[in-house]
Structure 1
């Protein structure tokens, strides 16, 4: 490797893409193309970066398998930055295995981190946590250690474990300051905002107040409160959790009853909101009785649903109160907006993968949000991307999708 390529690589490692381009901008050999691609990625020109990295991989050819493997990792990172979550995971895993077998531990670990970040984006927290546990960041440079701690914090935030997240963010800040890379320091600072901005809204006895994430954690850990969690669509009390994301009617009934607790809710109001019926007739009331019976069976030992003269009332069995944990802002498509709130541009296919919805459903939702001025698109066809500014003043950790886990 010649001196200009070495100097460009060192500049990129220090977060100086312009310095790197000063050394290799006019060169078209394989190492220079790869470094130019990484520099363009750091500058935010992701389409150009992708083209350059692919050109570098072709230029290296079959005689340089390690260099081609590093190009695969670079292309995967560019795809992740552009929120293209459908890139070939098997190719990245093969590149990781090859680099690990030839002693390139740093790039092999970087490939693993990319896999963890993708799993975190699509809500597969258990798998992300297992993959991250296999990595020891101690022997790696500060930039890699900072990335590791950011992922630890991201998983902890999604699991509402504020002490773990705060400790990981402190370690990430220390490592980021050692690198002196402004973008990495800013990324850590941005992640830390989740601990100091409102994460949810508490509704209790008709009154509302905003909660920070550590207050949410304390509420969910309380043994004397029945929580109807409208952020993750579960009912929780102490160590018992009942997921209702796939049963929207039952969750709507539970939320209405918890919002009104200790008072009851009229039958007509329950019918109108749960079944979206303007006028309740006898068939609606019969269906309401069936759904209330199903809700009673699900709640089991947590609470009773008692019939009153005008409707139904929630009666916790052991908890002293029933509350609703709601989103900080009322928005019909909060989960989609929470994904876009990271400031990156997303493909509709990536949003569909992250939300567990069909791409056509996501596209219709994006079109309606664009008409309302809440999101905007750039590009056309397969290159079309969607973005929005972050929701001002609110943390979005509880709005992001995740595969539910009882731990």
Structure 2
């Protein structure tokens, strides 16, 4: 490797893409193409970066398997940043195996971190934790240690474990400072900001207030019965009952939770559950059926008692009943939460992250675009969607992942 290529590689490692381009911008040999691709990625021109990396991979000879594998890892990182979540994971796994076989532990670990970050984006936390557990960051350079701690923090935030997240972010900040890469330091600061952003609203006894994530964690560990409108579950500290696939039952549970300790009139519950403007005897009969189902589903958590004018929620072991709601309520709140990260998403990537069909996601995007909440750019397969950060939103509780059960 000649001196210019070496100097360009060092500049990229230090987060100086312009310095790297000054050394190799006019060269078309394989190492220079790869470095130019990485530099363009750091500058944000992802389309050009991807083309350069593919050209570099083709230009490397058959004996340069490690160099080709590094190009694949770099392309995978571009796919992750551009939210191309359908990028072939097998190609990244094969590249990682090649790097490990040839002793390139740092880049092999980077491939692992990319894999974990993708799993985190699509809500597969158990797999992300298992993969991360295979890595020991101690022998890696500061930038890799910062990446490791960012992933640890990301999982902890999604698990609502704030102490673990804060400790990981502190370690990430120290490693990023030691690495001397401004973009990495900014990424750590952005991740830490989530912990100081309202994560939910608490509705109790007719009053509302915003909660930070550590307050949400404390609430879930308390003796309260929580009707969680972020995850569509009803829970106490020991038991979680999911109503995510039973919207009528959850609507009833939320209405009863918001009114507790008072009751809710039958006509109000009919209007909420069945969208009926005028309640007749058939609606009241259906309401009795659904209330009976809610009693059975809640089991030992709570009962539903009939009152003179309606129904009331009766917690069995909890001291009080509260409702946990999103900071900003919107029909497409989960999608807006994903888009609020400032990256551009394809409809297929959103569908994968939300566990919905692409057609459902496309209809929602069209609705949001008509309301000027999201903006598309590009055409056909290259079309992407994005939105500026929405005040009051944090992605933590809005993404479709299961709550911890203990």
Partner of 1:299: 298
**Greater shift in the superposed pair: 356-365 or 397-406:** 397-406
1:68 aligns with 2:68: yes
Q: Deviations over 1:325-378 (max 9, x none)?
A: 000012111100000011100011000000000011111111111111111011
Partner of 2:103: 103
CA–CA separation in structure 2 for the residues paired with 1:284 and 1:60 = 71
Deviation at 1:37, TM superposition (A): 0.7
CA–CA separation in structure 1 for the residues paired with 2:287 and 2:109 = 54
Q: 1:125·1:403 contact (CA, 8 Å) conserved in 2?
A: no
Deviation at 1:403, TM superposition (A): 4.3
Q: 1:124·1:403 contact (CA, 8 Å) conserved in 2?
A: no
Deviation at 1:242, TM superposition (A): 1.1
- 1:336 is paired with a residue of what secondary structure? helix
CA–CA separation in structure 1 for the residues paired with 2:331 and 2:194 = 22
Q: Deviations over 1:122-156 (max 9, x none)?
A: 00111111111111110001111111111111111
Partner of 1:370: 369
CA–CA separation in structure 1 for the residues paired with 2:115 and 2:3 = 32
Deviation at 1:404, TM superposition (A): 4.9
CA–CA separation in structure 1 for the residues paired with 2:278 and 2:44 = 54
CA–CA separation in structure 1 for the residues paired with 2:39 and 2:281 = 67
Aligned residues: 406
Deviation at 1:394, TM superposition (A): 3.7
- 1:49 is paired with a residue of what secondary structure? helix
Deviation at 1:15, TM superposition (A): 0.4
Structure 2: runs of 5+ lacking an equivalent: none
Q: Deviations over 1:264-301 (max 9, x none)?
A: 11122112222222332333222222221111111111
Provide TM-score, normalisation by structure 2. Answer: 0.98
CA–CA separation in structure 2 for the residues paired with 1:300 and 1:168 = 38
Describe how 1:81-160 pairs up with structure 2 within 5 A. 81-160=81-160
1:58 aligns with 2:58: yes
Partner of 2:42: 42
CA–CA separation in structure 2 for the residues paired with 1:93 and 1:268 = 57
Describe how 1:388-403 pairs up with structure 2 within 5 A. 388-403=387-402
Deviation at 1:180, TM superposition (A): 1.3
Structure 1: runs of 5+ lacking an equivalent: none
CA–CA separation in structure 2 for the residues paired with 1:111 and 1:177 = 22
- 1:235 is paired with a residue of what secondary structure? strand
Describe how 1:230-241 pairs up with structure 2 within 5 A. 230-241=229-240
- 1:120 is paired with a residue of what secondary structure? helix
CA–CA separation in structure 1 for the residues paired with 2:125 and 2:277 = 40
RMSD: 1.1
CA–CA separation in structure 2 for the residues paired with 1:80 and 1:380 = 20
